[in-house]
Chains A and B, each alone.
Chain A
């Protein structure tokens, strides 16, 4: 069964002059709508053998000690638009350290690298679609877009779902961050209700006393279309 059409008005505008790099990297022609074929209705399958024992634990998967920063758990559930769990699907994250510095050779921000923080994490969701990472809260950082543009604290997320058509790359923000409404990348999303879906609330129920706070980020992938196409093409 094919997936529902993607609501392109809900997603960020490909071209938003406030986000400078999008000016030359966004297609000028409209996307060409095609019916889904085997290429889009299938996708790579990842298994437990793809995941290292510390891949979920950014507090431990780089260096020999604990990284500096606010210890947090980021967890949530991956479902489709019909609320069905997406089990055993790959979730990848990456982020800056607590000072807002990325472990990447092209990042030259003043804040130092942390020898105990890499910033990469990877898990499979469980049978009910749940995932969980341990990490530190990333710092905000400046970037060359406007004269004084700062990214709010954020964690990048990559999801595969069950088929290429569900592929999603996004960013999670933190409840209460005053930089979120000032961010030109956040603002590429026109609908404030869509932005709200990217803001993870503090989740004290999942915090562990004297250890870590927690934030909850649920993720929704495209759902299957229940109404068959009138003029389906070959390969659907």
Chain B
């Protein structure tokens, strides 16, 4: 059997994936908080924006986050969904800094959905203040492009700008 082919999530993805954001009553949102108040770990905020090949913000985008806990384990792991702001395209979320695990530097796995994206884009977010030297995935990334995967502290949060296309294009994975 062959895998069912992908199709774009389209501009109305919030109705199904974040109904409260779309203004649909009756079904509650999943993944609005990545962490619970008692989740162990260092609280961090990550903010950013997604830009298209013309430099315009992608205001209808949704980002799904999948990450290890503070000990580096994905059992059960932490998951959440963040919608870009409809007016500005900016997004922001709170989580904990994941631990290193199985030779990997601390990182978040991100899955990006939006109108015009025909198959969801998979990328990773690493941290500038961690030791990333031995990470096997970063090692596969040509050195000039590694910076596209590294969030840097700015104003009390980590800033991570995702560029879908063109100069400074974020590295997207096929895994």
Pick from B27, B56, B79, B116: contact of A121, CB under 8 Å: B27
What are the residues of chain B within 8 A of A221 when measuring CB–CB?
Answer: 3-4
Q: Output the least CB separation between A38 and chain B (Å).
A: 5
B175 and A165 form a contact (CB under 8 A): yes
The chain A residue sitting closest to B112, CB to CB, is A25
Cβ of B52 < 8 Å from any Cβ of A?
yes
Chain A residue contacts of B79, Cβ below 8 A: 43-44
Q: A31-B172, A31-B173, A103-B24 are in contact. Are A194 and B111 (CB under 8 A)?
A: no
In the bound complex, CA of A40 to CA of B121 (Å)? 13
B111: chain A residues at CB < 8 Å are 164, 167
Bound together, the chains give a CA A25 to CA B143 distance in angstroms of 24
Distance in angstroms between the alpha carbons of A223 and B1 in the assembled complex:
9
Chain A residue nearest in CB terms to B115: A21
A164 touches B109 (CB 8 A): yes
Q: Are A37 and B27 in contact (CB under 8 A)?
A: no
Return chain B residues, CB-CB under 8 Å to A12: 5-8, 118-119
Q: Is B97 an interface residue (CB 8 A)?
A: no
Partner of A164, one of B8, B66, B107, B115: B66
Complex Cα–Cα for A188 and B118 (A): 8
Contacting pair A31 B3 (CB below 8 A): no
Q: Are A24 and B56 in contact (CB under 8 A)?
A: yes
B3 touches A169 (CB 8 A): no
Q: How far is the CA of A169 from the CA of B104 in the complex (A)?
A: 28
Q: Closest A-chain residue to B137, C-beta based?
A: A34
Contacts of B115 in A (CB 8 A): 21, 25
A63: nearest chain-B partner, CB-CB: B26
Residues of A165-221 whose CB lies within 8 A of B: 165, 167-171, 185-186, 188-189, 193-195, 197-198, 219-221
Asked if residues A195 and B54 are in contact (CB atoms below 8 Å), the reply is no
On whether A24 and B53 interact (CB within 8 A), knowing A40-B109, A104-B12, the answer reads: yes
Residues from chain A with Cβ under 8 Å of B136 in the complex: 35, 37, 233-235
Q: Is the CB of B120 within 8 A of A167?
A: yes
Q: Which of B133-175 contact A (CB under 8 A)?
A: 136-137, 140-141, 145, 164-166, 169-175
A7 within 8 A of partner (CB): yes
CA distance A95 to B12 in the complex (A): 9
Q: Which of A88-141 contact B (CB under 8 A)?
A: 92-96, 102-107, 118-122
Bound Cα distance A28, B167 (Å): 9
- Of chain A, the residue at the smallest CB distance from B66 is A164
- Specify which chain A residues have a CB less than 8 angstroms from the CB of B119 in the assembled complex: 11-12, 14
B14 touches A104 (CB 8 A): yes
* CA of A22 to CA of B9, assembled, Å: 12
A2-55 contacts to B, CB under 8 A, are 5-8, 10-14, 16, 19, 21-29, 31-40, 42-46, 50, 52, 54-55
Whether a CB of chain A sits under 8 angstroms from the CB of B117 is: yes
Q: How far is the CA of A120 from the CA of B157 in the complex (A)?
A: 33
Say yes or no: is A222 at the interface (Cβ < 8 Å to chain B). yes
The distance in angstroms between the C-alpha atoms of A221 and B104, with both chains bound, is 26
The answer, yes or no, to whether B96 is at the interface (CB within 8 Å) is: no
| Residue from the set B16, B23, B75, B76 with the largest chain A CB neighbour count within 10 Å | B16
Which residue of B5, B30, B52 is within 8 Å of A194 (Cβ)? B5
Do A35 and B165 have beta carbons less than 8 Å apart? Answer: no
Whether A16 touches B23, Cβ cut-off 8 Å, given contacts A11-B6, A235-B102, is: no
Identify the B interface with A (CB < 8 A).
1-17, 19, 22-28, 30-31, 52-54, 56, 58, 60, 64, 66-68, 74-77, 79, 86, 101-104, 107, 109, 111, 113-122, 124, 136-137, 140-141, 145, 164-166, 169-175
- Nearest 8 pairs of A and B residues by beta carbon: A94-B16, A21-B116, A25-B116, A44-B79, A12-B118, A234-B103, A31-B174, A42-B74
Given A27-B164, A194-B2, A233-B136, 6 new contacts (CB under 8 A): A8-B174, A14-B119, A34-B137, A169-B120, A170-B6, A188-B7
